[in-house]
Structure 1
Amino acid sequence: MCSVKASLLQVDDDLVDVLRTLHHHRYLNHTVLILMGDHGARYPSFIRASLQGKMEERLPYFGFAFPPWFEKKYPQAIANLRTNTDRLSTPFDLYETFKDFIHFQGAGPGDVYKRGISLFKEIPTERSCQQAGVAVHWCACLDWRNISADDSGVQRAVRAAVDTLNNLTAPYRQDCALLALQVVGSASKLQPRRELLSFKSERLEDRQVDLSGNTKNTMTLYQLTVTTTPGGGQFEVTVTHHHEKDAFTVSEKEISRINRYNNDPACILKKNTQIRAYCYCNNNIKSKY
């Protein structure tokens, strides 16, 4: 079995061969070439557990190569595309860009209230993950504050995270072990800034801001990295604390397995592949004795 590094090197050579062929036969004179990946370099596990690895999972590579004549014919579209390399963009924008290839709608400013914006339009600098339809768990533009694992809110969030993992495997408890917390690797907290909660209005004529508001904060988000036992599974989980109900909830879509599970879930692969990231087979425990 090839190592991850060796596999990547082999793919790299194949990619160079493809690009050379396209260039040599002049296919790129009338073709837009797009290269992309679903994530960056996130393995081995010590990389994924780092801040860099976290960003690699959320910010995959994406690149365009246009024929030389394209920029001459559509200079503003290419100028916007270059500007957008420093703006918040998503796969939904790629869909809108493809639509522009078929029927070009112009290279003006993008509408921040639309989920997808063609990359030939300028994406507004103020665009947020919420406006772009990016879930909090996957957003790379948020200001998280690191907090202690001993914080009472973190401890409740951790319990909610581990309970959710066990609930996902509960129908297969005969096969999948009941998980428990081994260690909290990191914990961070996201909540609205005080200035946001106190904002009431702004006078357009002189930009004077009224901060006498008293908006109630209804939720706090926790992002955790935890290791569970048995099996040593490592997970990154976003947990929502709903203040009015004083409830901590986790969506399966906001759980990332950040280390390899290899053959740990072999016992359920023919029964339910969707839970393989969360299942550590009981027979793995028995085989150690």
Structure 2
Amino acid sequence: MKTRRQKGAAHIRWPFNHSYAMAIAELELLSAFLPEVKVAQKQYGKEHNFSKPTTGTGCVRPTLDINDAEISEFLKSVSPLKCASEPNWITTRGGKLMLNGKAIEQYGNIQCNIVPFEFVDDFTVRTFNHSLVTNNTSVPTDFFKAVCTAPNGKNYTNYHATIVRKQDSQRKVVQMAGFSRPLNIYFLGFDSLSRLMFMRKLKETYKYVTEVLNGTVLEMYNIVGDGTPAALLPILTGKTEEELPETRRSQRNASFVDAYPFIWKELKKFGYATLYAEDMQNIGTFTYRLKGFKQQPTEHYLRSFYRQVDKETHRFNQLCFGSELQHRVQLSYVEDFFTTYPREQPKFAFQFHAAYSHDDINAVERADGATVEHLRFFEKNGFLNDTLVVVFSDHGCRYSSIRRTKQGKLEERNPFVSLILPTWFKEVYPNAVTNLRKNSKRLTTPFDLHATLESLWNFPPPLLGDLANRGISLFSEIPPNRDCTNADIPAHWCSCLSWKKLPKDALVVWFIANELVKAFNGRLKQQEKLCSMLKLHSILEAYVTQPTDEYVAFVRPKDVDGRQPLFGKRVNMRFSSYVVTFVTTPGNGTFEATVLSDCTEQVLHIDLDSVSRVNAYGSASHCIMDKDSYLAIYCVCRDML
């Protein structure tokens, strides 16, 4: 059944009198949405859900242009990274260390010591005593530091990762209904890439996924919240952070994220070996605001590798390990995982790359070639014959100048997601593949990816998905009348809308922005000794959003294939949303907020969960991070002034 968020909201009653309403009416763009009516006296309780009502009309999105002029001006080519020209002296595979033959040929008898290290918890790494190793030596842990010396005194120091097969991962494989043996599941993810940005910057990967591997791209995939945790948690748990146990580091009785019902816990019961890997450990998905893992979550877990490297080198997110690109090191770790474990043992791997795209959207093109080679490795070695591969991103750009364009706002809500199936899947399960293709043009969410994974346990799922469930398997047909409400997409993140720009000096815009700042300060008063109160500085832009004419007039498909729409009479909508981008002082914080206007009741609803910080706040909120991380986007620490 559908699980709904429990949100608190502030409710601001419009301060309309006759003259103010007449002034607003002069703004022709707004007149249809803010009629001159009396102020309603009805009061709402804090627990009320102010989602827009279900229309049953489906989702129609604004057309996005891959060559949009506003976005194109921010795009540029970057030069390839140059790592060390001399090949690494050490390679690894299947838990073994091997000396590079060319290095031996050039330098002779190379002596190497290694310092193995491993996970204790997400913030602690255990190191072992160094040991002298020879060529083709088994190593005790997945990670080690190598220090080697050649007879001529030349030195080599580097960090290496490999897969040391865990004894406790050799589980009995439990058959899943519908498959002779369970499918491998592999998620390959990138940070901050919209669907169109993936196509712009990872051109060869996109071409390989869609043309060579016949992958299906979910064109109408929509995020359900802000940031990476809001993107990954619904995939991995089927729930939002608010619905899960409290794990924020700022909360006294918070649990570790071990308490979450991660999908790999269920998969282990079916005999899966498991792996989780993400770079940028300093801003990790489960550790930046949350308490992280107390116990290692998967048999192979890359966080300790990056944690130790960053600690010893005093450099975050170095992009080369000797002669090898950091991106390639992480991809190789997954390749090693698939080759080290027996072919008959099912595998779950989830890896996420942020180092190339989190801070500079142009830099991600450096990963294009290596990603294609990685996918080609899976194809050539036959792993795609028994693996469901999901190549995806969490969201589009959040902080760059691109995000401040109209199209950039929409692209943020539409990340890249594609599914690659074994070639035999279409023959054995034609209906499931047909449904997946249909769903590529329908509104989908991270909840659907989770439901898709769960459907593998008892395959195939029902032919038609049920709108009563917010998560629907992508192998079931998603009803064409699905909208943001029954998909549980908050209005702020719903892209099934038309956007009309408003004058920045419109009274309604300033009123909304000022009320939002008041709401911010109401929250900041909890930490008034640490955080400064905010003032409205300026308005950058504002839009009013409503469903498109096609959205509200759609009745049903006209033809049996669902290609021709049938439209009826346009329906007047009770609700419209305003999206306002504004700057506060001190600190010059830039915020984008969506507020809901009830055009019948003349009430404005403010929900602080529908506010995004669209410029980085850096260390300005350092004083609050460990006390109340939710205030970080608003707080300007008094000691920074």
> TM-score w.r.t. structure 1 length?
0.81
* Inter-CA distance 196–267: structure 2 relative to 1 (3 Å threshold): closer
Match for residue 605 of structure 2? 249
Matches within 5 A, 1:1-289: 4-5=359-360, 8=364, 15-16=371-372, 18-44=374-400, 46-106=401-461, 108-190=463-545, 217=574, 219-242=575-598, 246-285=602-641
The CA deviation at 1:173 is 1.7
Pairwise CA distance, 1:70: 1.0
How far apart are residue 226 of structure 1 and its match?
Answer: 1.0
Gaps of 5+ in 1: 200-206
Q: Please list the CA deviations of residues 234-279 of structure 1 after superposition, one character each: whole Å capped at 9, or x if unmatched.
A: 1110112346765433212101111111111112223222211111
Distance 1:109 1:282, change over 3 A: same
Task: Say whether the 8 Å CA contact 1:115–1:133 is kept in structure 2.
Answer: yes
SS at match of 2:579: strand
Residue 196 of structure 1, CA deviation: 11
Q: 1:247 to 1:282 in 2, by over 3 A?
A: farther
Aligned length: 273
Counterparts of 2:394 and 2:573 in 1: how far apart (Å)? 38
Residues 32 and 181 of structure 1: CA distance in aligned 2, closer, same or farther (over 3 Å)? same
Is the CA contact 2:500–2:544 (under 8 Å) kept in the aligned structure 1? yes
2:146 corresponds to: none
Partners of 1:96 and 1:118 within 8 A in 2: yes
SS across alignment from 1:137: helix
1:62-108 residue CA offsets vs partner (Å, 9 max, x unmatched):
11111111112112211221221111111121222122211124563
Deviations along 1:157-203, one digit per CA (max 9) or x if unpaired, are 11221112222221112221211112111212245799999x9xxxx
Tell me, in whole angstroms, the C-alpha distance in 1 between the residues paired with 2:547 and 2:473.
30
Q: In 2, Cα distance between the equivalents of 1:186 and 1:210?
A: 32
SS of 2:440 mapped into structure 1:
helix
Which amino acid in the other structure matches residue 73 of structure 1?
A: V
The answer to whether the 8 A contact 2:537-2:585 is kept is yes
Q: What one-letter code is carried by the residue in structure 1 that aligns with 2:488? A: G
Amino acid at match of 1:179: L
Q: In 2, Cα distance between the equivalents of 1:210 and 1:141? A: 19
TM-aligned CA distance change 1:66 to 1:251, over 3 Å:
same
Is the 1:160–1:248 contact (alpha carbons within 8 Å) kept by the matching residues of 2? no
Residue type matched to 1:145 in 2?
A: K
| Greater alpha carbon shift after TM alignment, 136-145 vs 2-11 | 2-11
Structure 1 residues 193 and 34: alpha-carbon distance in aligned structure 2, compared to 1, 3 A threshold: closer
Deviation at 1:10, TM superposition (A): 6.3
CA contact (8 A) 2:532 2:637 kept: yes
Question: Residue 541 of structure 2 contacts residue 581 of structure 2 at CA under 8 Å; is this kept in 1?
Answer: yes
Amino acid at match of 1:110: G
Q: Secondary structure at the match of 2:623?
A: helix
Q: Give, in whole Å, the separation in 2 of the partners of 1:84 and 1:210.
A: 27
Q: CA deviation at 1:148?
A: 2.0
Structure 2 residue matching 1:227: 3-state secondary structure: strand
SS at match of 1:144: strand
Partner of 1:204: none
Give the 3 Å change call, closer, same or farther, for CA 81–210 of structure 1 in structure 2.
closer
Q: Distance in 1 between matches of 2:485 and 2:407?
A: 23
Is the contact made by 2:591 and 2:611 (CA closer than 8 Å) also made in structure 1? yes
Cα distance in 2 for partners of 1:144, 1:85 equals 24
- The 3 A distance-change label for structure 1 pair 243 and 142 is closer
Question: How far did residue 49 of structure 1 move?
Answer: 0.9
Residues 237 and 104 of structure 1, relative CA distance in 2, 3 Å threshold: same
- The 1:150–1:96 alpha-carbon spacing in structure 2 relative to 1, beyond 3 Å, is same
Q: How far apart in 2 are the matches of 1:235 and 1:60? A: 21
SS state at 1:39 partner = coil
| Greater relative contact order structure (CA < 8 Å, 6+ sep) | 2
Q: CA, structure 1 residues 243+57, in 2 after alignment: closer, same or farther (shift >3 Å)?
A: same
TM-score scaled by structure 2?
Answer: 0.39
Rounded Cα–Cα distance in structure 1 between residues aligned with 2:573 and 2:437 = 40
Percent sequence identity is 34
Deviates more, 1:92-101 or 1:35-44: 35-44
Structure 2: gaps spanning 5 or more residues: 1-315, 318-355, 554-565
1:203 aligns to what?
A: none
Aligned counterpart, 2:5: none
CA RMSD after TM alignment: 3.3
Q: Distance in 1 between matches of 2:546 and 2:472?
A: 28
Moved over 6 A (4+): 192-197
**What is the identity, as a one-letter code, of the residue corresponding to 1:122?**
E
- Aligned mates of 1:172, 1:35 — CA distance in 2: 41
Query: Greater helix share, 1 or 2?
Result: 1
CA deviation map 1:182-225 (0-9, x unaligned):
2111212245799999x9xxxxxxx9x799x9x894x5421111
Q: Which moved more, 1:130-139 or 1:15-24?
A: 15-24
